[in-house]
Structure 1
Amino acid sequence: MIKHHPSDALLAQYCNASLPASINVAVAIHLDMCSCCKEKVQRIEANNAVDVFGTDDEHPQTTDLAIDELSLIDAITADVTADEVYKVAPQTILVNQQNYQLPRALARISHSKFMQMGKLSRSRIDLDDGALRSSLLHIDAGGEIPEHTHTGFELTLLLDGEFSDEEGQYVPGDFMWLDGRHQHTPITEKGCLCYTVVSSALHFKKGLSKLLNPIGNLIY
């Protein structure tokens, strides 16, 4: 069962279309996996509609108003420049002999080839989002990311498989937001695929991995 969710504030920003693209994608993916948060978003959107348009009691419809609304709908549907409705075809990727189906929100966004780093593989998502970097991160069975903290924030959404850290175990759909107050060592027994967003470099804490810190801003 999913235990980690976007905050209510983040869901409100999603409904207001005020999130950066990479974070908006993460929330959209989570909503497809989490009925609890999907219901929250529906309630927020309903409340937003009341705030903007009011209730039927506040704005009783007259015949003229109904005609005006129908004319507006006709004008919108007659607009030949409007995007066509399309069905998103499922897209699968192969990572180290493992097949994964990408979430619907990523199916039409391109990504780079996976770069292999030991048991870690990373593919950069093609989103122009300022300082934010979004990626698909794959960890092979038995792999781990060395203990680290964060110089900015790190959003991790588990898409498939499992991993754990000092705080517990995670299942597909879990949505984790960490910053400089946290340090952890993600490890997986069976392997996993994650969608990640980072705003700055990780800061490694132990062993040879600390050698990456001086060039962290170049590789985050």
Structure 2
Amino acid sequence: MIKHHPSEQLLSQYSLGELPATLSIAVSAHLEFCACCKSKVDTIEVAQADTAFADTTSPFDNDDFADMLSMITQSSDVDTVAQYEPEVFSYQSKELSLPRAIAAIDRSNFVQLGKLSRSRLKLDDGEMRASLLQIAPHGEIPHHTHTGFELTLLLDGEFSDEKGSYVPGDFIWLDARHNHQPTTAEGCLCFTVVNSALHFNKGLSKLLNPIGNLIY
């Protein structure tokens, strides 16, 4: 069962279209896993619509709005929306369908380092970096904390850290208050968003800290 969810604030910002693109993608992908959060977003959007249509300062009255909708729906210039076909994604001898918001963005080829493999989403979103991250069976990410924030949405498989175990759909938000060492017995695929380098705390991985800002 999913135990980790976006905050109420994030869900509200998502509904209002106020989130940066990478975070909006992460929330949208989580909603494909989580009926509870999907229901919350639906409720928020209904309330927002009610508020918008009750706005007496709107330049449109009901007749104007109906005329506008009729003009849009009857126009021959409106393209027919193609039926969405899920992308089949292969990793670690498995196949799955990526969440629609993630599949829609071009991404780089996977670059492998040991049991870790990362593909960067080709998305210009300021300091934020979004990636697909694979960890092979019996792999781990060295013990670290965060110089900014790190969002991990588990898409497939499992991993665990000092705080517990995670299942597909878990939406995990960490920052400088947190230290952890994710490990996986079976392997996993994650969607990650970071806005600054990780800071490694132990062993040889500490040698990466001086160049952390170049590789995050």
Structure 1 length as normaliser, TM-score?
0.91
Query: For residues 166 and 83 of structure 1, what CA distance do their matches in structure 2 show?
Result: 51
Match of 2:104? Answer: 108
Distance 1:149 1:81, change over 3 A: farther
Match of 1:178? Answer: 174
Paired amino acid for 1:52:
A
Paired amino acid for 1:111:
R
Paired amino acid for 2:113:
M
Distance 1:80 1:19, change over 3 A: farther
Query: For residues 126 and 76 of structure 2, what CA distance do their matches in structure 1 show?
Result: 33
Query: For residues 98 and 46 of structure 1, what CA distance do their matches in structure 2 show?
Result: 38
Match of 2:160? Answer: 164
SS in 2 for 1:136: strand
Query: For residues 83 and 125 of structure 1, what CA distance do their matches in structure 2 show?
Result: 27
Greater displacement, 168-177 / 100-109:
100-109
In the TM superposition, what is the alpha-carbon distance from 1:70 to its structure 2 partner? 3.3
Greater displacement, 96-105 / 5-14:
96-105
Match of 2:141? Answer: 145
User: Are 1:24 and 2:20 matched, yes or no?
Assistant: no
Please give the per-residue CA displacement for 1:191-219, whole angstroms capped at 9, x wherever unaligned.
Answer: 00000000000000000000000000000
Question: What percentage of residue pairs aligned between the two structures are identical?
Answer: 58
Distance 1:67 1:53, change over 3 A: closer
Aligned pairs for 1:57-206 (under 5 A) are 67-206=63-202
Distance 1:83 1:19, change over 3 A: farther
Unaligned runs of at least 5 residues, structure 2 = none
In the TM superposition, what is the alpha-carbon distance from 1:126 to its structure 2 partner? 1.2
Distance 1:188 1:214, change over 3 A: same
Query: For residues 128 and 88 of structure 1, what CA distance do their matches in structure 2 show?
Result: 24
Match of 1:15? Answer: 15
Match of 2:42? Answer: 42
Paired amino acid for 1:28:
S
Structure 2 length as normaliser, TM-score?
0.93
SS in 1 for 2:133: strand
Query: For residues 190 and 144 of structure 1, what CA distance do their matches in structure 2 show?
Result: 11
The answer to whether the 8 Å contact 1:89/1:107 transfers is no
SS in 2 for 1:112: coil
In the TM superposition, what is the alpha-carbon distance from 1:97 to its structure 2 partner? 3.2
In the TM superposition, what is the alpha-carbon distance from 1:150 to its structure 2 partner? 0.3
Query: For residues 70 and 50 of structure 1, what CA distance do their matches in structure 2 show?
Result: 16
Greater displacement, 203-212 / 76-85:
76-85
In the TM superposition, what is the alpha-carbon distance from 1:80 to its structure 2 partner? 4.8
Unaligned runs of at least 5 residues, structure 1 = 59-64
Please give the per-residue CA displacement for 1:57-86, whole angstroms capped at 9, x wherever unaligned.
Answer: x9xxxxxx6654432112112445545322
The answer to whether the 8 Å contact 1:88/1:107 transfers is no
In the alignment of these two chains, the number of paired residues is: 212
Greater displacement, 28-37 / 94-103:
94-103
